[in-house]
């Protein structure tokens, strides 16, 4: 059973919600973050990416940067950019992006559920990234960005949320990327109790996006538990911020790859090695894969379509048959020498929202040598793998639209 609870959100006033709201900390580089926050003193990036207020050469993992995040959170509260609700509520957060409409419940999940496996994951975390989030959350004394979870949809929950969205929203604004963000505050005690009960009947929640934030919340709880001789399990640090969406509203895009070099191989040798495992077809235009086992490759100003030879993967194995696995196991590792894509500095991952034009730009710039476009992993594949306790290769899924940070903060005490 999935245990969730309402909480007293720290959130922006209606008047400045659109100015506070920012993309998640990990979907842009520091230069992009600086540009996004420029001229906006209440951009939440000043809390989630405080390094933007330091000289470019500053180590983003240094103590002054974490301290600045804490100071900025306090400043946002002191200046009235953020205020805390006086009672524990749930919230509904709807995003509309073209034909895509997804409505999630904003709530606190429990570290106990994460540690026991009620909340299932599908990726490993990088130790350095996890440690960064531990320090950030602990210094802030808050979960400043929600984890993106999903569950197998239930008509009873949909009926409740649909009735709530017929009321007047608290926030309703559009962002530059064409996404409309709408939020309702659930103050009705009966609806709060009913939602808690309904979710308690759900056997499993799934991490869609936010493995590092989930793992960090778990570690912060352990640190604070060890330091608190009066620990009861009811303290706010036992819970962390989530937005939970039904699976039938999820929109997954591919997570593409670019690689810095050909592992000291000339192009002719590289193509020959690739052809051992893939059928290669030269193309006259950019290739955006339209189905599974369809892979695009951009090299030396030309596009190719790669079709894996059937014998190179096990169709009955849920991990082996993923396109990200086929590419990793049969090209990135044996040909390009990228054994561990989580740590190898020669590979970079590009969210599908940026399109194949971004792959061309990166390769044509000379910074990268080859790019690969992929077909997206499905939500059904994600849940099947998680249920089986299996792990996907890193950066297998890119969810869009992205949750905006700054609309909800969960204080740990």
Q: Tell me the CA distances in angstroms from 164 to 93, 152, 155, one per residue in order.
A: 11, 20, 14
Q: What is the pTM of this model?
A: 0.91
Residue 155 host element (H or E): helix 155-164
What topology is assigned to 255-375 in CATH? Answer: 3.30.1760
pLDDT of residue 343: 86
pLDDT of residue 1: 83
Q: Which of 408, 6, 410, 9 is nearest to 196 (CA)?
A: 6
Where along the chain do its domains lie? 4-250+401-411, 255-375
pLDDT of residue 315: 84
Question: Distance between CA 338 and CA 347 in Å, rounded?
Answer: 8
- Per DSSP, the chain holds a count of helices (H) and strands (E) of 13, 21
Q: Which two tokens stand for residue 322?
A: 């993923």
Kindly state the DSSP code that residue 181 receives in the 8-state scheme. Answer: E
Mean pLDDT by 10 residues, the chain (413 residues): 96 97 93 96 98 96 98 97 98 96 98 97 90 97 97 97 97 96 98 98 95 97 97 97 97 95 96 97 93 96 95 87 95 96 92 94 97 95 93 89 97 94
SS3 content of the chain, % helix, strand, coil (to 5): 35, 25, 40
pLDDT of residue 316: 83
pLDDT of residue 310: 80
């Amino acid at each position: 059973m999935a245990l969730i609870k309402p909480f007293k959100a720290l959130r922006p006033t209606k008047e400045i919600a659109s100015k506070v709201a920012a993309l998640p900390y990990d979907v842009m580089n520091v230069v992009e973050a600086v540009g996004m926050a420029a001229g906006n003193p209440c951009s939440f990036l000043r809390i989630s990416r405080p390094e933007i207020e330091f000289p470019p050469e500053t180590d983003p993992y240094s103590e002054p940067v974490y301290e600045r995040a804490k100071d900025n959170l306090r400043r946002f509260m002191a200046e009235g950019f953020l205020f805390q609700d006086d009672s524990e509520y749930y919230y509904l957060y709807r995003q509309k992006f073209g034909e895509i409409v997804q409505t999630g419940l904003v709530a606190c999940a429990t570290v106990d559920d994460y540690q026991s496996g009620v909340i299932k994951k599908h990726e490993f975390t990088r130790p350095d990234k996890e440690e960064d989030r531990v320090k950030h959350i602990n210094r802030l004394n808050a979960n400043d960005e929600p984890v993106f979870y999903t569950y197998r949809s239930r008509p009873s929950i949909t009926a409740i949320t649909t009735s709530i969205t017929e009321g007047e929203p608290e926030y309703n604004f559009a962002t530059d990327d064409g996404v409309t963000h709408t939020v309702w505050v659930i103050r009705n005690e009966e609806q709060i109790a009913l939602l808690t009960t309904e979710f308690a009947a759900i056997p499993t929640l799934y991490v869609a996006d936010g493995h590092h934030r989930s793992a960090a919340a778990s570690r912060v709880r352990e640190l604070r538990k060890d330091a608190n001789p009066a620990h009861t399990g009811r303290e706010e640090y036992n819970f962390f911020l989530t937005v939970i969406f039904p699976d039938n509203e999820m929109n997954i895009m591919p997570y593409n790859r670019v690689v810095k070099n050909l592992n000291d191989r000339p192009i002719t040798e590289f193509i020959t090695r690739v052809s051992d495992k893939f059928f290669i077809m030269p193309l006259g235009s950019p290739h955006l894969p339209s189905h599974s086992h369809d892979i695009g490759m951009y090299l030396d100003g030309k596009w190719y379509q790669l079709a894996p030879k059937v014998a190179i993967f096990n169709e009955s194995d849920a991990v082996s048959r993923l396109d990200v696995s086929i590419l990793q196991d049969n090209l990135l590792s044996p040909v390009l020498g990228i054994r561990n894509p989580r740590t190898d500095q020669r590979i970079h991952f590009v969210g599908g929202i940026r399109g194949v034009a971004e792959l061309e730009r990166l390769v044509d710039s000379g910074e990268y040598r080859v790019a690969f476009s992929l077909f997206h992993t499905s939500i059904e594949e994600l849940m099947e793998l998680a249920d089986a306790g299996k792990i996907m290769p890193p950066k297998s899924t890119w969810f869009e639209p992205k949750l905006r940070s700054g609309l909800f903060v969960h204080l740990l005490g």
